[in-house]
Chain A
Amino acid sequence: MERNEIEKKLEKIFKTVFNNDSIVLTNELTANDVDGWDSLSHMLLISEVEQEFSIRFKLNDLNKMRNVGDMINIITSKLQ
């Protein structure tokens, strides 16, 4: 799957989880930039991403993610 295709799918998940159609994903986007990105919504986000891409993150993968760019990199590496 191409990176921009991953981004598109991810943006759709973000808009649903955070109930906000105006979210635009950038590599630098973090929890500090999105209203309502708390523990619970983070868990739902991770769960939706795993389901959409049919992957399972390791705990180590999750702890390395500092922004959306990291998330895309890890998804990409899992899909290869």
Chain B
Amino acid sequence: MPEYKIREANINDIDFIVKAIIEAEKSGSEIFSYSKIFNLKEEELNQIFHQMLLEEIEGCEFSISSYLVAEINNKIAGTIGAWIENKENPSTIIRGNLLSYFLPKSSLLFASQQAKIISELNIDHVIDALTFAIVYISPEHRGNHLFELLANEHIKRNKGVKELSIQLMANNVYAIKSYERYGFKKELEMKSDNLKLLEILPYNEKILMKKQLK
């Protein structure tokens, strides 16, 4: 087993983190929801995500401080972005603030037409849970237990946390199995029969999984 080093991400890792966000959003499909919702090209969103991460605002997936990375031979092999969901300062609002500040007005207008249909799959974040939002392991490092290594380190750094939560699309069978092996259990499933959703999101069913910690 290779010896990975786990450390906090910093601004030099932004390229990898942006890739992780985009790949995680695609959930193994070719559909990049942000592109569809905001009518922007992947390259344009890549630039915007860079700018958002450079702000170093805490508490959502566009926060450098949320990420731990696994490194080997000075190259990043994988990352998990996670935070403790806070009732007073919810991640949805932190994310919404960053997006509303950095996205062009034309994209916001476009998104307003999609808002209702997307909300059909909305699942609230679990307050006070350590929320795993972005999980990405480079293909050549899969099978090396990097999820476990990164998840264990997140838990270690968030002493007192009692619960883990993760939301993902139900088509991501490989990921669901590996989370189940780690002790996550399916808690809630949200499905929409609106086929238009499949043009915007990678799948029409979303799952909330949780794991209780001792």
- B is bound to A: yes
- B17-38, CB under 8 A of A: which get 1 and which 0? 0000000000000000000010
Q: Which residues of A in the span 4-57 have a Cβ within 8 Å of any Cβ on B?
A: 30-32, 36-44, 46-47, 57
B183 CB–A CB distance under 8 Å: no
Pick the contact of A39 from B96, B101, B109 — CB < 8 Å? B96
Residues of B within 8 A of A36 (CB): 119, 122
Closest to B109 in A: A47
Residues of A within 8 A of B88 (CB): 30, 66
Residues of A within 8 A of B109 (CB): 47
Q: Is the interface of B mostly helix, strand, loop or mixed?
A: helix
| B93 in contact with A42 (CB, 8 Å) | yes
- B70-107, CB under 8 A of A: which get 1 and which 0? 00000000000000000111101111111111010100
Q: Is the interface of A mostly helix, strand, loop or mixed?
A: helix
Known: A32-B90, A59-B98. A41 touches B115 (CB 8 A): yes
| B99 in contact with A39 (CB, 8 Å) | yes
| A40 in contact with B98 (CB, 8 Å) | no
Known: A47-B108, A57-B101, A59-B98. A42 touches B89 (CB 8 A): no
| B122 in contact with A42 (CB, 8 Å) | no
| B57 in contact with A40 (CB, 8 Å) | no
The size of the chain B interface, using a CB distance under 8 A, is 28
Pick the contact of A42 from B55, B92, B105, B118 — CB < 8 Å? B92
Residues of A within 8 A of B90 (CB): 31-32
Closest to B90 in A: A31
Q: How far is the CA of A62 from the CA of B112 in the complex (A)?
A: 20
A63 CB–B CB distance under 8 Å: yes
Kindly list 20 other residue pairs between chains A and B, CB separation below 8 angstroms, not including A39-B95, A57-B101: A36-B122, A38-B92, A38-B119, A38-B122, A40-B37, A40-B118, A41-B96, A42-B92, A42-B93, A42-B100, A43-B99, A43-B100, A43-B111, A44-B112, A47-B108, A59-B55, A59-B57, A62-B100, A63-B97, A66-B89
Q: Which 5 residue pairs are nearest across A and B when measured between Cβ atoms? A: A42-B96, A62-B97, A43-B100, A39-B96, A46-B100
Chain B residues packing against A (C-beta within 8 Å): 37, 55, 57, 87-90, 92-101, 103, 105, 108-109, 111-112, 114-115, 118-119, 122
